[in-house]
Amino acid sequence: MTDKGGLLDRQQRFSRVILNGFYAYFAEFENITLAARTRFEQAEWASMQEISSQRIDVYKETVMETLGVARHIAGEQIENLRFWAETRLIYAKLVQGMTNFEIAETFYNSIFNSHFGHRSIRNDYAFVFSPQGDVPSVDIGRVVRHYGVTEGLSSAFTQLLSDFAFNIPYEHLSRDVDGICRAIEKHLSGRFDLNCPGLELQVLEHHFFRNKASYIVGRLYADGEQMPFVLPMLHNDSSTDPAVLVDAFVFGSDQVSLLFSFTRSYFMVDASIPSQYVLFLQQLMPKKEISEIYSAIGHFRHGKTYFYRTATRHISSTADQFIVAPGIKGMVMTVFTLPSYEYVFKIIKDRFTPPKEVTHQIVKDKYHLVKRWDRAGRMADTQEFNNLVFDASRFSDELMEELHATCSSQIKINGRALIIKHCYVERRMNPLNLYLQEATDEEVVDVMNDYGNAIKELAAANIFPGDMLLKNFGVTRHGRVVFYDYDEIEPLLDCNFRRIPEPRDEADEMSGQPWYSVGPKDIFPEEFRLFFSGNKRARAAFDAQHADLYDADFWIRLQNKLRDGFVEDFYPYPRRVRFSTLQDVS
C-alpha cells in the first residue's frame, strides 16, 4: 500500500523545490540585469553583450539543476501523471497571490516539459492556463514617476534627467533639455495639448539598457490623453571625460513599438515585478502583443507561455483553415499560416532541396544562435515548440499534402489531432520578393536601400546571412526589412571573403566550372549580384546604393574592426530624429 502521508510530504517537498528553483532563477536574472548599469557607465560594450547572452542561458541551466533535485525527491513517482496533477494543485496554492505568480507558473511548466520532453502537456498537470488569470493584478502606479509641467517642460525634463542621472555626469544637460523641448514643440504642438493644466510626464522608474544605450520610457499625459515617448541616452565613449548625452526624443506608439520590436535583443531593466512594466508598456503600445512585451524585457519563456495561450484562444475563436504560407517554398523549411493570424509556423523538412547540405541539428543550432545573438533589429525572434497539437480538420488539403510530402517524420495524426513534433513560430511578414512585385519605383528604391542596410547591420553584429535571396527577407508593417531564414547564417569572422581570380586563359573564361579552388568558408561577394536575377528594378536600386557590398574589401575591413573589439551602434529609431542631425532636417 502507498503511504498517503508520505506521498503528500513528497509532493509538498517536490513543489517547494521547484518554487525554490524559481526563486534562485529570478534572483540570478535580476543580478545579471542590475550589472547592466555599471557596464553602461564604464562603456564595457563587449561585456554588455556577454551578460545579455548569459541571462538567456541562466533559465535553462536553473531548470535542469532544479529538475535534478526534483527527480531525486519524487523517485519513481516522477513518471506518474497523477503525482504531477496533485503537485500542480499544491504549487498553485504556494504561488497564489504572488506578484510574480505568472513567471513562477511558467518555471513549473519548464520543469514538467523538460522531464517529459514536451509530451502529455495538459492543464491538469501543468499551467497551460493559470487559475489566477494571465497577468497579476498589480498597481502600475508604484513603478511610475510623475513630473508636473506647471513650471514648463524645460523644468520638468531637467528634474527628470537629474533623477535618472548616472555615476558619470551629463555631457551638457541644458543642451539636451533644450533639444527635447525643441523636438516636442516642432513635432507635437499640433498633435497634443501641451498647454493643458494637468499635463505631466509619467515615466517608468528605472532605465532600460540594451547594447550601447540606455532608455527612459514614459509618456506625456493629460486628461486621459497620452503621447508615449522614449529618451535614448548614449555614453560619449570617452576614456578621459566619460559622460552621458540624450540622443533623441522618440515619440508615438509606432516609434516606441519599434524600440521593443521582436527583431531586437532583449532589454535589461530592473523590473522586480515584471507585470507592472508590461502593463504600462502595453498602454504605450496597444497594438503590441503582451507576449512580445514580456519577451522584450527578458522574460522570453513566459512570453512563450502567453503567446501559446493567446494563440489557442485565437484558433478556437476562428474557423479559417491553415494554409501553405504565400511565397516561394523554402529548401529547408515548410511554412504554413492561418490567414486570420499574424504568425507563421515553420517545420524543418525531412530532406533538403539540393544544394542545401545542412542537417536538422545544424538548423536548430542556428536558431539557437539567433536567440542569443544581437539581432540588431534585423532578425526575427522565434518561439520554439515541441509536440504542438492542432485540430487536423483546420488544415487545408493542400497543406496536408505538403506536410506529408516534405516533413512526414515531424507530424503525427492521433484521431482528430495533428501533432507537430517540432516547429518554430515567428511573426508573419510580407516576403521581400512579393513586396517588390507590387511596389512603386519609389518604394523599390526605399526597400532595397533598407535591404542593403539590413545586410550591413547584420554584418556589423558579426552575422553573415549566407543565403541573401530576396525571398529570405521580409517587410514588416513598419516597412522595415528583416531577415528570417537562418539555416546558413555564420559568424562573420568565420567567413573567408575573396575576390574571384582572373581567368588564366580562354579555357578558364569559357568554363562552366570554377577554375580556382573554393574552400567551405570561402565567400565571393561579386556573386551577390545573382541574388537579384529576374528583378531588374531591385538590382538597379541596390547597385545605386549598396554596390560596396560586392567588394571583398568591404567585408574584410569590417572583419578587422570586429577583431579589434569594435561594437557597432544600432539605433532603433530614425536617424533623422537624433539631436546631432536635427539641424540637417527641414
In terms of DSSP bridges, do strands 522-523 and 496-497 run parallel, antiparallel, or are they unpaired? parallel
Cell reading at 568: 557597432
Q: How distant is the alpha carbon of residue 513 from its chain centre? A: 41
Alpha helices in 117-240 (DSSP H): 153-163, 173-188
- Burial of residue 437 (CB within 10 Å: 0-12, 13-18, 19+) is exposed
Which of 247, 374, 381, 487 is the catalytic position?
381
Neighbours of 286 (CB within 10 A): 9
Q: Tell me the β-bridge partners of 383.
A: 425
Closest CA to 558 of 462, 450, 454, 449: 462
Task: Provide the residue count of the chain.
Answer: 586
- Listing DSSP states for 122-138 in one string gives -TTTS-SS-TT-SS---
Torsion of CA 91, 95, 96, 101, to 10 degrees: -120
Spatial contact of 74 and 90, defined as CB atoms under 8 Å apart = no
Closest CA to 577 of 214, 191, 248, 182: 248
Q: How many Cα atoms occupy the beta-carbon half-sphere of 230 within 13 Å?
A: 28
Q: 514-537 burial, b for 16+ CB within 10 Å, e for fewer?
A: eeeeeeeeebbbeebeebbeebee
CA distance 463 to 322: 33
Main-chain phi, psi angles of 417, to 5 degrees: -90, 135
Q: How distant is the alpha carbon of residue 59 from its chain centre? A: 16
Spatial contact of 189 and 254, defined as CB atoms under 8 Å apart = no
Closest CA to 230 of 255, 261, 266, 194: 255
CA distance 442 to 30: 47
Neighbours of 82 (CB within 10 A): 10
381 is catalytic: yes
Q: Which helix (H) or strand (E) holds 549?
A: none
Q: How distant is the alpha carbon of residue 576 from its chain centre? A: 24
Report which residue type is found at 526.
E
Spatial contact of 170 and 177, defined as CB atoms under 8 Å apart = no
Helix (H, G, I), strand (E, B) or coil at 350: coil
Neighbours of 83 (CB within 10 A): 19
Residue appearing with cell numbers 523599390: 444
Residue appearing with cell numbers 535583443: 265
Helix (H, G, I), strand (E, B) or coil at 59: helix
Cell reading at 413: 495524426
Catalytic annotation, residues: 381
